[in-house]
């Protein structure tokens, strides 16, 4: 039996992760938090993960734990974190733990200032429709998916939405630097979206470094309408193969967008240039894991978007 303890378990991503791990055979999850609000409270209770009482309890941290996962807002003075360090336990941030759980799988990671949630959802929707099992992590609810994270022993593919924001208060690395993808998508770099980074140039550098951290012989899929991504694509490691994409051929009639493919038109339930670009990126990513264009187009007309759409 593997035992994992989540500090600040009610954080949305941490809660989704805890639920996913608790569903794996031979895994036991415990957690703690100093305050728990709805809807996290009800979800924790539903999955039998609700701590007996709120607060930090270092006596719950023991040598029998396989790993301790501190949440994004946990600082270095947290009593449980201090105890875990004293015992020499393995400590993983959320993205580190996600990587550890999928090390043996082919990882597809979607990064970019915009469109990454929809692009990730598109890939997952297609794989599910084609009955291709995949682990995943996405920030929005997708129709037909019970949880925002799934982790399993059997799936050979893992699909992550890759956030460039910092991992936590005690780990200042961008989250997507820790995923080491085999297949990466970069949807674009927005000039007004660099948030916690001091300058836009430093922000752009995080995306370049993301490509440098890809697995050997990785595949980079990037939007070629972005000047910064074009520069990054020209400075890749020699073993990485780059695939540019843009807006696919389409026509709008009576309010419905039709994709133009070699085998005819495909009506869509989504619309807009950005979503069509996301769809094209998802198609190329699926192609890298053996999904043909014909298979992709056979199911994509049913995609309705995400809860953020």
**Phi and psi at residue 29, in whole multiples of 5°?**
-115, 135
Higher pLDDT, 143 or 189: 189
CB count within 10 Å of CB 74 equals: 25
pLDDT of residue 307: 63
Q: Is the peptide bond before 39 cis (omega within 30 degrees of 0)?
A: yes
pLDDT of residue 309: 40
State mean pLDDT over 138-144: 82
State mean pLDDT over 223-241: 97
CB under 8 Å to 222, separation ≥6 — which residues?
Answer: 185, 186, 229, 230, 232, 233, 242, 243, 244, 245
d(CA 193, CA 161): 17
d(CA 252, CA 267): 9
Structure confidence by residue, pLDDT tens digits, 44-66: 999 999 999 999 999 999 999 99
Find tokens 């699909």 and name the residue.
Answer: 159
State mean pLDDT over 276-299: 97
d(CA 139, CA 221): 21
State mean pLDDT over 179-195: 90
- What's the CA dihedral at 68, 69, 74, 76 to 10 degrees? 50
d(CA 305, CA 108): 19
Confidence of residue 146 (pLDDT cuts 50, 70, 90): confident
Edge-first strand order for the sheet with 264-267 is: 250-253, 256-261, 264-267
Q: What is the pTM for the complete model shown?
A: 0.94
Q: DSSP 3-state assignment of 123?
A: helix
Structure tokens at 261: 């493919």
d(CA 148, CA 281): 21
Q: Of 95, 90, 79, which Cα lies nearest the Cα of 13?
A: 95
Domains with residue ranges and CATH for the chain: 2-92 (3.40.50.720), 104-300 (3.40.1190.10)
Q: Are strands 135-137 and 149-150 parallel, antiparallel or unpaired?
A: antiparallel
- Beta carbons of 120 and 159 less than 8 angstroms apart: yes
State mean pLDDT over 297-305: 93
Mean pLDDT, the chain, as a whole number?
A: 95
- Beta carbons of 148 and 140 less than 8 angstroms apart: yes
CB under 8 Å to 250, separation ≥6 — which residues?
Answer: 257, 258, 259, 260, 276
pLDDT of residue 239: 98
- Beta carbons of 138 and 98 less than 8 angstroms apart: no
Higher pLDDT, 147 or 213: 213
Structure tokens at 64: 């029998």
Q: Are strands 241-245 and 219-223 parallel, antiparallel or unpaired?
A: parallel
pLDDT of residue 1: 92
Confidence of residue 194 (pLDDT cuts 50, 70, 90): confident
pLDDT of residue 196: 78
pLDDT of residue 13: 94
């Amino acid at each position: 039996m593997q035992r994992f303890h989540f500090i600040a378990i009610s954080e949305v991503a941490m809660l989704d992760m805890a639920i996913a791990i608790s569903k794996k055979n031979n895994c036991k999850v415990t957690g703690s938090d100093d305050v728990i609000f709805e809807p996290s409270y009800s979800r924790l209770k539903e999955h039998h993960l609700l701590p007996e009482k709120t607060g930090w309890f270092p006596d719950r941290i023991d040598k029998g734990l396989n790993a301790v996962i501190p949440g994004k807002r946990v600082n270095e003075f947290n009593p449980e974190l201090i105890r875990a360090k004293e015992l020499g336990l393995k400590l993983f941030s959320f993205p580190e733990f996600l990587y550890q759980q999928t090390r043996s799988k082919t990882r597809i990671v979607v990064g970019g200032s915009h469109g990454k949630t929809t692009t990730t959802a598109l890939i997952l929707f297609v794989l599910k429709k084609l009955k291709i099992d995949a682990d995943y992590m996405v920030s929005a609810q997708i129709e037909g998916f019970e949880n925002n994270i799934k982790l399993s022993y059997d799936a050979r593919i893992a699909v992550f939405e890759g956030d460039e924001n910092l991992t936590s208060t005690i780990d200042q690395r961008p989250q997507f630097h820790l995923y080491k993808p085999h297949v990466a998508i970069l949807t674009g770099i927005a000039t007004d979206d660099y948030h916690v980074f001091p300058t836009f140039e430093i922000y752009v550098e995080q995306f370049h470094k993301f490509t440098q951290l890809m697995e050997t012989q990785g595949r980079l899929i990037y939007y070629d309408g972005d000047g910064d991504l074009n520069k990054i694509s020209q400075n890749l490691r020699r073993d990485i193969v780059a695939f540019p994409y843009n807006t696919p051929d389409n026509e709008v009639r009576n309010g419905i967008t039709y994709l133009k493919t070699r085998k005819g038109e495909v009506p869509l339930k989504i619309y807009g240039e950005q979503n069509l670009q996301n769809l094209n990126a998802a198609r190329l990513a699926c192609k890298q894991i053996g999904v043909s264009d014909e298979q992709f187009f056979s199911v994509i007309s049913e995609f309705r978007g995400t809860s953020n759409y």
